[in-house]
């Protein structure tokens, strides 16, 4: 019985084995600002224990996500990330974070609430007005890493992205829920609302479906004899 279970497990693994040369597709584009909460050392970015929050708008959604940007405002909130340590390289700081979550919300333009950054977040409108409506997509972010010039906030971040929830979860085949995200950051823009650290402009890509390999029970068993 135990051997049969092992074989079944191995078969499942074989079927789900990823193809190393997978194509990727743009899933959504996002634009906004970030801040730290909690911010243990104001004036410093990425100190151990500080929380990273990003929020803003999602102007473009791509398949398998569906949306209607004429009728709805799409917003995102990126949160749950805590700085766990950093390395200094010249003027740059390479910051590592615990896993976090990015959520995309759909909020009707008529009767909904327009996202309002306000100042010195968290505040009465942020992240609240970006986290209302229907959560159409929830994804985890792991291996989140921020590389930033501490002189001016110019930098970038990246993370592994996994679709885990939201009302459009069923749009994603079981073998196509993984991808990655990246964003540029800048502290040089004059339009950064008070209390925010950087403006951010990013994209999330979805890996192509994992390919499956046909085999026979005989071949599968033979591989483990």
Partner 1 sequence: MRRWMTTLAAIAMLALAAAPSRAVGPIVDWDPAYFYFPGATAADQPAGGILRCVGTVSQFGPPLDFLNASMPATEYTFYIDGLTSQGTNSFGPPATTIYTTFYTGGTIAIYADPTPDAAFDPNPPNANVPSTFQDEGQPLLTGNFTSLLVTTNNFTAFQVGNIEGDIQWTGGTLIGLLGPEGQPCPGLFTGGATWNTSPGVGIPGYLFRHDGKIDLQCPTPTKKSTWSRVKGLYK
List contacts with partner 1 (CB under 8 A): 21-26, 29, 31, 59-60, 87, 89-90, 92, 94, 117, 143, 145, 147, 149, 154-158, 160, 180, 182-186, 188-191, 193-194, 199, 201-203, 205, 208
Whole-Å CA distances, 153 to 29, 126, 170, 184, 198? 21, 21, 38, 10, 6
Please give the backbone phi and psi of residue 49, each rounded to the nearest 5 degrees, phi first: 90, -10
Nearest to 51, CA basis, from 88, 85, 87, 79: 79
Instruction: Give the residue with the Cβ less far from partner 1, 47 or 149.
Output: 149
* Cβ 182 to partner 1 shortest distance, Å: 4
Q: Name, in order, each residue with C-beta under 8 angstroms of 92's C-beta and a sequence gap of 6 or more.
A: 147, 148, 149, 150, 155
Strands 51-61 and 24-36 come out as: antiparallel
Instruction: Give the nearer residue to partner 1 in terms of CB position, either 45 or 180.
Output: 180
94 vs 169 by CB, closer to partner 1: 94
- Shortest reach from residue 55's CB to partner 1, in Å: 12
Shortest Cβ distance from residue 185 to partner 1 (Å)? Answer: 7
| Residue nearer to partner 1 on the CB measure, 191 or 216 | 191
Task: Count Cβ atoms below 10 Å from residue 145 Cβ, excluding itself.
Answer: 13
Closer CB to partner 1, 168 or 183, in the complex: 183
Cα–Cα distance between 86 and 146 in angstroms, integer? 9
Q: How far is the CB of 134 from partner 1 (least distance, A)?
A: 23
> Which residues, listed in sequence order, are joined to residue 202 by a DSSP beta bridge?
30, 183
Of the pair 47, 201, the CB lying nearest partner 1 is at: 201
Beta strands in 37-169 (DSSP E): 51-61, 72-89, 92-97, 100-108, 134-149, 155-165
Closest CB 116 distance from partner 1, rounded Å: 10
Shortest distance (Å) from residue 167 CB to partner 1? 24
CA 197 – CA 33 distance, rounded (Å): 7
**Do residues 128 and 115 lie in contact, with contact meaning Cβ atoms separated by under 8 Å?**
no
């Amino acid at each position: 019985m135990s051997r049969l279970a092992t074989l079944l497990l191995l078969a499942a693994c074989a079927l789900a084995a990823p193809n190393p040369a997978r194509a990727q597709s743009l899933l959504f584009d996002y634009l906004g600002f970030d801040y730290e909460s909690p911010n243990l050392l104001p004036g410093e970015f990425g100190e151990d224990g500080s929380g990273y929050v990003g929020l803003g708008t999602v102007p473009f959604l791509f398949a398998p996500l569906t949306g209607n940007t004429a009728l709805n405002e799409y917003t995102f909130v990126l949160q749950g990330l805590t700085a766990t340590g950093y390395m200094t390289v010249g003027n740059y700081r390479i910051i590592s974070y615990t896993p976090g979550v990015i959520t995309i919300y759909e909020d009707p333009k008529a009767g909904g609430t327009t996202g309002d950054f306000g100042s010195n977040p968290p505040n009465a409108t942020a992240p609240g007005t970006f986290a209302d409506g229907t959560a159409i997509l929830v994804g985890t972010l792991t291996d989140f890493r921020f590389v930033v010039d501490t002189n001016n906030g110019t930098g970038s971040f990246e993370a592994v992205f996994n679709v885990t929830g939201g009302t459009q979860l069923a749009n994603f085949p079981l073998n196509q829920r993984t991808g990655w995200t990246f964003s540029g950051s800048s502290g040089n823009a004059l339009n950064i609302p008070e209390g925010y650290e950087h403006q951010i402009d990013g994209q999330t890509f979805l890996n192509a479906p994992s390919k499956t390999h046909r085999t026979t029970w005989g071949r599968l068993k033979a591989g483990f004899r």
